[in-house]
Homo-oligomer: A and B are copies of this chain.
C-alpha cells in the first residue's frame, strides 16, 4: 500500500502516519517526491488498512498495489485449471466446450427434444433452469425439484454432464445431488453465503459475472468458493449493463481476454444473455471463441416464441446446428478446435 500525503502536509502528520503503520507491526518508508511525500507500507497488509490510513491527518489518498485475490490469480498459480466432468468432458483444457439447452425446463418432452437435438449437433453439456430468478414476482419461476429430476434423467439418457442454477441456500444439497455443475447467477455474484455453501459441496461451480461487476470483484467472488477448498471454479461472462437499450446487455469480450491473463480459471461466454437477441448469438459466440473463451453457453428451445422464459434470445435447434458448424470452423482456424464428443451409446442401454 502507498499512502500519498497532501502537498501541504507537514512532518508531524507524516510521522503520525508512520507511527500508526508501525503500531500495526508493519513498516513505513517515506519516499520524497518532487511535489509530494508518499509513504510505502511494507509488510502483510489487509484490505481494511486502506480506510484506516485514509482518514489520518494530512493523507490525500491511499493506493493499493497488490491484487486482493490470491487463489484465483495467475501470479499464484500459473497453470490453467482444468475442470473434469462426467462423460469425459473437461473445461479449460484448451479445447472449447459447448453447453446448450433451454433457459427454463418446461416439460420432460421439451427438455428431451432439446437435449437430443443439441447432442446431435455436438453440444457437450446440457443446461436447463429449474429455479429461475425473475425480476418480477409475477413471472414464471421454474418447475423446481421436478425439473431437477428431468434434467438428471436427460443427462443420463444423452450422456451429457448437466448444469443448472442454484438460487437458494436451502437448495444447495438437492441441486448438488442432481447436477454436475452448480451455476451461480449474475444477481447472486455477491451473495457471499451462497458462494461459500456452493463451494463446500465440492462440486464444480460456474460463477456468472454480476451485471455491473468489475473483474476484480468477480475474481474476489470466485475467491469465496476457492477458499472453501474447492478448486473447480468456472467463470462465465454473460454481459454487463451499459447505456445501450437496444440489447439486453453488452457481452464484454475484453473481460474474457483479460481474465485469461489474470487468472488460471476457465472462462465461458454466454451470448444468449449477453445480447438478448437470437440473431446476435451466432456472431458473438464465434467472437467469443476467437478471443480465447474455454466454451460457450447457448440457450436453445424447440419453439422459442412459445418459451416460458427468454424466448427472444433462444435459438431453434436448426440455428444451433448452424452455429456449431461455424464454431467448429472457427475453432479450427484459431488453433483451438472444439473438444471431441465421445460417441456415446446414447439412448440406449445402461440407464
Which residues of A come within 8 Å of B, CB atoms? 2, 4, 6-8, 20, 29, 31-36, 38, 40, 42-48, 50-56, 63, 65-66, 68-69, 75, 133-140, 167-170, 187-188, 190-193, 211-217, 220, 223-224, 227, 239-247, 250-255, 257-258, 261, 274-275, 277-280, 283-284, 286-292, 304-313, 326, 329-330, 332-334
Residues in B with CB closer than 8 Å to A261 are 279
With A75-B6, A220-B137: A168-B169 Cβ-Cβ less than 8 Å: yes
- Pairwise interchain contact B254-A254, C-beta atoms closer than 8 A: no
- Pairwise interchain contact A52-B311, C-beta atoms closer than 8 A: yes
With A75-B6, A253-B287, A333-B332: A190-B135 Cβ-Cβ less than 8 Å: yes
Residues in B with CB closer than 8 Å to A245 are 214, 245
- Pairwise interchain contact B188-A191, C-beta atoms closer than 8 A: yes
Pick 20 A–B contacts, CB within 8 A, sort by A.
A6-B75, A38-B40, A40-B40, A47-B136, A48-B311, A51-B307, A51-B310, A68-B135, A133-B190, A137-B224, A168-B169, A170-B193, A212-B241, A239-B254, A242-B250, A243-B243, A244-B252, A257-B283, A286-B290, A286-B291
Q: Beyond the given A136-B223, A253-B283, please list 4 additional residue pairs across the A-B interface where CB-CB is below 8 A.
A: A48-B309, A68-B135, A133-B192, A135-B217
Set B38, B240, B279: member contacting A65, Cβ < 8 A = B38
Residues in B with CB closer than 8 Å to A45 are 34
Residues in B with CB closer than 8 Å to A48 are 139-140, 308-309, 311
With A193-B167, A292-B283, A326-B334: A244-B251 Cβ-Cβ less than 8 Å: no
Q: How far is the CA of A308 from the CA of B211 in the complex (A)?
A: 28
Closest residue of B by beta carbon distance from A239: B254
With A31-B29, A33-B65, A220-B135: A255-B251 Cβ-Cβ less than 8 Å: no
Q: How far is the CA of A36 from the CA of B251 in the complex (A)?
A: 31
Q: How far is the CA of A202 from the CA of B137 in the complex (A)?
A: 18
Set B40, B254, B333: member contacting A280, Cβ < 8 A = B254
Measured between C-beta atoms, what is the minimum distance from A332 to chain B in Å?
A: 7
Q: How far is the CA of A34 from the CA of B49 in the complex (A)?
A: 15
- Pairwise interchain contact A136-B220, C-beta atoms closer than 8 A: yes
Closest residue of B by beta carbon distance from A212: B212
With A52-B305, A65-B38: A243-B244 Cβ-Cβ less than 8 Å: no
- Pairwise interchain contact B214-A244, C-beta atoms closer than 8 A: yes
Residues in B with CB closer than 8 Å to A307 are 51-52
Q: How far is the CA of A189 from the CA of B139 in the complex (A)?
A: 17
Measured between C-beta atoms, what is the minimum distance from A26 to chain B in Å?
A: 9
* Those 10 A-B pairs whose CB atoms lie nearest each other, nearest first: A333-B333, A212-B212, A187-B190, A287-B287, A168-B193, A51-B312, A287-B290, A287-B291, A51-B311, A55-B305
Q: How far is the CA of A216 from the CA of B243 in the complex (A)?
A: 11
With A279-B261, A307-B52: A215-B240 Cβ-Cβ less than 8 Å: no
- Pairwise interchain contact B255-A244, C-beta atoms closer than 8 A: yes
Measured between C-beta atoms, what is the minimum distance from A238 to chain B in Å?
A: 12
Q: How far is the CA of A41 from the CA of B311 in the complex (A)?
A: 19
- Pairwise interchain contact A55-B211, C-beta atoms closer than 8 A: no
- Pairwise interchain contact B220-A244, C-beta atoms closer than 8 A: no
